[in-house]
Structure 1
């Protein structure tokens, strides 16, 4: 009887140990399978992220090279344009009444309603300014119209009506916009770096 009880106890311990070993092995196998699946998924996601990064880098490089080529073309075109046309045109100073004239004879005193800035940008200057901002040559009024005969660009020396003060105001606005864009891009880059760091 004692032998049977001992045998039953040994058998029970063997079954429990076997069950534990089988369960542990099954759990290990299931965990290993889940881990392998997670690793495969992580590898696929990393490969996709690398592919997107490679595509973005290639696209940036192509756009950068295209932009450099456009600006080189514009620079050559504008150097040639600049050799033929001034950037500013000087308007004649208003005529003040002479000693024997009075204002009622048609002359306007210089201090009343007369623009004191005689310098005006030419249409060539406006065309080059806009081209530098956009990276594309576009006519300024009649200066640079498509289909114009070669050398028939006398309009480029004409007064655009814009002063140096107008150009400076435009430059200030563009510089402010550029600074705001740089700050936004820097914040975006910093955010992306934080997300990538472990």
Structure 2
């Protein structure tokens, strides 16, 4: 009887340890399978992101090269234009008439005019200068008033030497606005770069 109890006890222990071993193995197998799926998913995501990054880098490089080509062509066009047309011309001379009368509403025989004093309005940018300025900002050659882009009619090319009515003060104000916009863009891009590098 004791031997039967001992056999039953050993059998029970064997079944319990066998069940534990089987359950432990099954759990390990399930965990390994789950880990393998997660690893495969991570590899696929990494491969997709790497492909996306490679495509973005290739696209940027191509756009950068295209832009360099555009600016090289613009530079050649504008160097030729500068040989034919000045960047500035003298501004209009304005005659200032001084009146000794009490006001324009009371003209009469006793109204006396002083000699006209010419006032120089200062240099103004030519249409060629405006065309080159805009081309440098946009990367494309476009007409500025009657100053047509490369290949335009001869009359349009002759108009490039005409004054645009814009002064150097106007150009400086535009330069200041453009410089401030560029500085703001640089600041935003630097924050974005720092954020992405922090990830």
Residue 191 of structure 2: aligned partner = 187
* Cα contact 2:93–2:121 (8 A) shared by 1: no
1:39 and 1:165 mapped to 2: Cα distance? 63
The gaps in structure 2 that reach 5 residues or longer are: 98-110
**Which structure shows the higher strand fraction?**
2
Aligned structure 1 segments of 4 or more residues deviating by more than 2 angstroms: 91-97, 102-107, 145-152
The gaps in structure 1 that reach 5 residues or longer are: none
Q: Deviations over 1:84-126 (max 9, x none)?
A: 11100012544577xxxx972672x56xxx6x64110000000
* Cα contact 1:143–1:153 (8 A) shared by 2: yes
| TM-score, normalising length: structure 1 | 0.87
2:150 and 2:124 mapped to 1: Cα distance? 24
Aligned residues: 187
Cα root mean square deviation, aligned: 2.3
2:112 and 2:195 mapped to 1: Cα distance? 67
Give the one of 138, 141, 144 matched to 2:142.
Answer: 138
| TM-score, normalising length: structure 2 | 0.86
2:95 and 2:196 mapped to 1: Cα distance? 64
**3-state SS of paired residue (1:161):** strand
For residue 131 of structure 1, report the CA deviation from its aligned partner.
0.1
